A and B are shown apart, each in its own frame.
Chain A
Amino acid sequence: MATTSSSNHGADRSAAVSRIVGDDVYARIKAAKVLMVGAGGIGCELLKNLVLSGFVNVVVVDLDTIEVSNLNRQFLFQRQHVGLPKAQVAADSARRFNPQANIVFHHANIKNKEFSQEWFGQFDLVLNALDNVSARNHVNRMCLAADVPLVESGTAGYLGQVTVIKKGATECFECTPKPPPKQHPVCTIRNTPSLPIHCIVWGKFLFNQLFGLADDENNISPNTADPEAAGDNADAGRQDVDGRDANAELSSADSATNNNVQSLRAWAIEHQYHADETVQKLFVNDVKTLLRMDKLWRERRPPVPLDTLLEQSTDGTNDDGPASSTRLKDQRVWGLKECTDVFRSSLSRLAQRLSEEQAKAAASGSSEAAILSWDKDDDLAMDFVTAAANLRMSVFSIPNMCRFDAKSMAGNIIPAIATTNAIVAGLIVLEAMKILRDQFSICRMTFLARKPNSRMKVLLPTELSKPNPNCHVCAAKPRVTVHVNTNTMTLGQFDEVVLKGRLGMIAPDMMEGNRILLSSEPGETDINNPKALSSLGIVHDTSVFVEDFHQSYELTIRVLHREAFEADAQFVVEGQGSVPPPAAQAPAAPAPTPSADRKRKAEDDSDAPAVVDDDDIVLMDDGSASDHQPAAAHVNKKHRLETPADDEDDIVFE
């Protein structure tokens, strides 16, 4: 039969590659030492492509272990690998293909100190297959410091992007500022939720309060110090969409003064996690407490305690969901009674699990108390959060949502499929080959669209942009201006929230003139942490010099004093936008995460697009998109790189 199989090329497995790329380039491929960061969706495909393209020296770093929800696309992993480190299983699989290949893996965080600038410097090429902005920022800095070319990539659903970053020649990952993560004011979460997301965040916090790491940042009880309800003295803290990031962002921060943090856990233990009593406390008694704060309800619809709702309710389940499927029961909105039942049973089962974990920890002689950690793919935890959030939505007259959508929202889930990852991984290798040929001039940022644009292009390559001379990372002398209230922000907060949280540093040292105010050496400057910036001499228009030795990153920060911020933000970094105000009072207003929003809308009109796609697609389809992107489109696309990411893990949409 007439096939175009290349079987007539003889048995040499590399013959085709060396013939087509040329012997000299093939020799470079074999000699090249490549770092691949991330062994998830893109990483699995990429490692396969590297090994089959002749690369033999590859180091793989990944922090994660394998989960069931990875298996629909991360083909190097199978069911029996669930729980094992991704880096290890991926490296083993690739080695089996080519036993001569020298594939080294590290099951570790790429931000660890062991991965120093010198360590990065050993590579000819770094390939990012990451799923979060924070690690991307870090690798960007390490590659700039070590002057190693970096290929950056991301996917989201059907969309993908690949670009090349080379120190001094192209823009770096941080040349285009990203909007800060969406946050929700604490008081809204605790006292006056108006959107489904407020209740979802509350549900996740409740999980932590009852079973996980309970601290002030995820307090869910009524806040009687709400400035709106009482005086105007309480400093309302703020919470990230994602509980974990909220912790990182806040740590020592303030805040809401009436701490009954210990008390909820203590209360639960005292009541042995009794289901009915917990329902009574959270959805009746606490609601009555809120109702007594009558100032809150002057211009808002007051909440209704659950017992009243249940009395009024005719219940029956909501008939609006797609009822046809028996399998996807999670796409049906539960009724009030059903929510209560799921809440009660998942609470009891989680309490049971907690006590088992504690018993195990005690048996192994561990001094630390066992806790449960929230995970969107832990179905019991997800049941609990869905039920808790929906009960709260009912109490606050917010339309309920199904478990499937609650999961999108709670987990900031970005859809991910094998096909997009395969295409993007292939494009990464094509760019890597150009770099090895020293052909930076033909390297491109390539964008994968969902459908052909008006010029019938699905792949949209654009020339790489020049570095942004004002970039706060890759400029010759990086500078940035930060507005803070120097009288209320402590050095410790500045360290956590501004330097590490927003500016992406790992271990900053900060100096004002010759005075060392903050040291990355443990303990050296701890005494300064609780002090306000102004008391340390950082007042309006003070410039401080910050250095992160690990990242070889130096930054001059001009501090400007500002009394108050919009939407109770704590600070503003100039040029990076302010923290967006909390969404207004639309009960069915958009979910804050594009993916969640997409699904939620899909309930209303099944063809709803992913919001994350919208802007980009519109621009791509604007016929001008080809080799010369208009600047606006370019900025927009650059922004896209931050959001899409396989895989899904806890991406905070920025």
Chain B
Amino acid sequence: MTSASMIVDRKTQRYDRQLRLWGDHGQAALESARVCLINGSATGTEILKNLVLPGIGSFTVIDSEKVSGADVGNNFFLDADSIGQSRARVVTELLQELNTDVSGNFVEEPLQSLLDNDVEFFRPFTLMIATQLSSKMLARVSEVCVKLGIPFLAVRSYGLIGYLRLQIGEHCVIESHPDSPMDDLRLDRPFPELLSYLQQIDFNTQDGFQHAHIPFLAILLKHLLEWKASHGGLPPKTSKDKDEFRAEIQRARRIKEDGSRAEEENHDEAITHATKAWHVSSIPSEISALFADSNVDNLTATSSPFWIMVRSLRDFVMAEGEGLLPLRGSIPDMAADSDRYIRLQHVYQERAKHDVAAFTAHVHRHLAELGLPLGTISDDDAKTFCRNAPFLRVIRARPISDELASATSKLTDTLNFHLEDPDSSVAFYVLLRAVDLFFEEHGRFPGAGDDQVEEDIAPLKQYVVGLLTDLGVSQHAIKEELIHEMCRFGAAELHNIASILGGLASQEAVKVITRQYIPFNNTFLFNGITSTSSTVEL
């Protein structure tokens, strides 16, 4: 029973459940995204399905293949009638049906010829996704994406194995959605408004209700200031100090008529959260590292808003912030009466607004100096940036072409580290590269015909050994039985694995497009035999 509302529109209804994850600005980013998919395989189709449903702007499928019997067997969107037809076209039409808000396009020209003749074709895309590409083609697409500055997600489903690889030049995340951010309360460095709030609280009230509803932050701050006054300005340090500090709060409970201490939830909370009293406000190491980034010192008119804001943030820290980031302004929930809670909330919010204003002034100064319009960074952007200042992240996932071109010592170390565990999913990284070497020489994958499984084992092993040598990894790192498994897989794509990879890959695609949450860096391997996975930076 849905009827027209005065407030919400059709899209809001449809996307209600996801808006609660990434907000309207995340949704707007999705709706303006142009996604390119290379190969309308089962895996590729599953990925696009999961992006078309939440409403990306448009997609383009590049595929020169015709629909085969195997496609019909592993792709839900294809049926027997489509065998022999253009896979790009059929897949596009069926995906388009899922959501009419999304525009679907397809290209039947072979990838090879696009790469050879028309690299500019790729320029408009927000994100490139390739499925079922072997190493050689992967490296070529990778190079194009580096050149055009487009994020690139490579996905491969091989028997019961899955591989995801993200390549991204510089991905700046403002809204990283940390799991459990520390409250930013500044009890160790109380600002003037907080101190004057504290002075207004009557801790000696005879009114039991009043006393039991003093916000615990005020209780903590009062006791902290008293402690410091009697301890040479230092907060509780040792565990003995801390016990004593808690005991002081315990003694501050009101005494009832029968002489016992009142049960007061606010005092319980103060004791539970006593660590907030000696928490030292500071700048997270990740943010200090960002301040040292060369982008910060070398602002130019082409600097991104992100780096202009990081620079402004650093300026703020060195000036008004007195060594700290802008106050975030939120306070935890607590047992308190409405009045004093709201006033405390207000004290923090006002201070946060004050800090945002100071920060925004730095932003405006830089924009002016760079000759950029002030509207380049809106007040809302500045506000969001300040709220997220401790959680900013920059991810750089290196080019796949570099990784494949030569083994760095870092790559060797990483592989050696992971392959010490004989059950590590990372073994499949080596095996996937080995089957590609096999492919380059034989023009087919090992075990690709039913009668070839046994005979391909020995040659595949040769490639594995050779590759391990090239990579500088111990030759015994890969279990023999895994080589057998790879031959048995015969490069077949199973729907169920495609579905899992499709889910994982599209999830990362959404993170990249919305610039919210932190995408993986940079290789993800899934083992469908054991339902285990690993993420490694290669």
The interface of chain A, by Cβ under 8 A from chain B, is 1-17, 19-20, 45, 48-49, 51-53, 67-69, 71-73, 75, 78-79, 82, 96-97, 157-158, 194, 299, 301, 322-325, 327-331, 342, 345-346, 353, 372-373, 375, 377-380, 382-383, 397-399, 403-404, 407-408, 413-427, 429-431, 442, 444, 446, 450-452, 456-459, 461, 584-590, 595, 598-599, 601-602, 604-609, 613-614, 617-618, 621, 647-648
Contact = CB atoms under 8 A, between A and B. Distances in A.
B69 A12 contact: yes
Interface of B: 1-21, 23-25, 28, 39, 41, 46, 49-50, 53-55, 64-65, 68-74, 76, 79, 83, 97-100, 110-112, 132-134, 136-137, 156, 158-160, 175-181, 209, 213, 265, 328-330, 333-339, 341-342, 345, 378, 380, 384, 387-388, 391, 439, 444-445, 448-450, 488-497, 499-500, 502-504, 506-507, 510, 517-518, 520, 524, 526, 528, 530-536
Nearest to B391: A607
Contact of A416 (B18, B55, B445, B504): B18
A158 B132 CA distance: 25
Given A415-B20, A426-B500, A7 B68 contact: yes
Given A73-B17, A459-B532, A648-B17, A4 B156 contact: yes
Given A324-B380, A418-B53, 5 more contacts: A3-B137, A5-B39, A15-B70, A419-B507, A458-B520
A380 B1 CA distance: 10
B134 A52 contact: no
Given A20-B160, A194-B338, A607-B391, A325 B25 contact: yes
A604 B49 contact: no
Nearest to A444: B531
B21 A157 contact: yes
Contacts of A585: 213, 335-338
**Most chain B beta carbons < 10 A, residue from A3, A13, A157, A324:** A3
A403 B7 CA distance: 9
B17 A415 contact: yes
B96 to A, nearest CB: 11
A379 B2 contact: yes
Given A52-B496, A72-B54, A8 B444 contact: yes
A52 B76 contact: yes
B132 A3 contact: yes
A10 B493 contact: no
B2 A378 contact: yes
B503 A4 contact: no
B345 A584 contact: no
14 contacts: A9-B490, A11-B70, A15-B492, A68-B10, A69-B17, A71-B14, A299-B209, A330-B7, A379-B3, A379-B4, A379-B7, A416-B17, A418-B50, A608-B181
A415 B21 contact: yes
B83 to A, nearest CB: 7
Nearest to B115: A1
Contacts of A648: 17
Contacts, number: 360
Given A20-B492, A72-B15, A419-B507, A97 B79 contact: yes
B302 to A, nearest CB: 25
Given A16-B493, A68-B14, A325-B28, A11 B134 contact: no
A614 B488 contact: no
Given A3-B39, A52-B76, A604 B24 contact: no
A419 B496 contact: no
Contacts of A325: 24-25, 28
| Most chain A Cβ neighbours within 10 Å, of B16, B179, B499, B528 | B16
Nearest to A48: B76
A606 B490 contact: no
A502 to B, nearest CB: 27
Contacts of A3: 39, 41, 65, 132-134, 137
Given A69-B13, A328-B19, A607-B177, A75 B1 contact: no
B9 A602 contact: no
Nearest to A73: B53
B490 A19 contact: yes
B71 A7 contact: yes
Residue of B71, B112, B329, B531 with highest tally of chain A CB at under 10 A: B531
Contacts of B133: 2-4
B70 A6 contact: yes
B520 A452 contact: yes
Contact of A2 (B2, B46, B134, B330): B134
Contacts of A584: 265, 335-336
Contact of B491 (A4, A51, A52, A607): A4
Given A327-B11, A329-B8, A458-B533, A96 B79 contact: yes
B33 to A, nearest CB: 15
A378 B7 CA distance: 12
B336 A586 contact: yes
A258 to B, nearest CB: 27
B112 A422 contact: no
Given A13-B73, A16-B492, A17-B494, A379 B8 contact: yes
Contacts of B83: 11
A461 B156 CA distance: 22
B166 to A, nearest CB: 12
Contacts of B384: 606
The 3 A-B pairs at the shortest CB distance, nearest first, are namely A11-B69, A379-B5, A13-B73
Contacts of A413: 16-17, 20
B534 A456 contact: yes
A444 B527 CA distance: 14
Contacts of A331: 24
A450 B448 CA distance: 36
Nearest to A402: B7
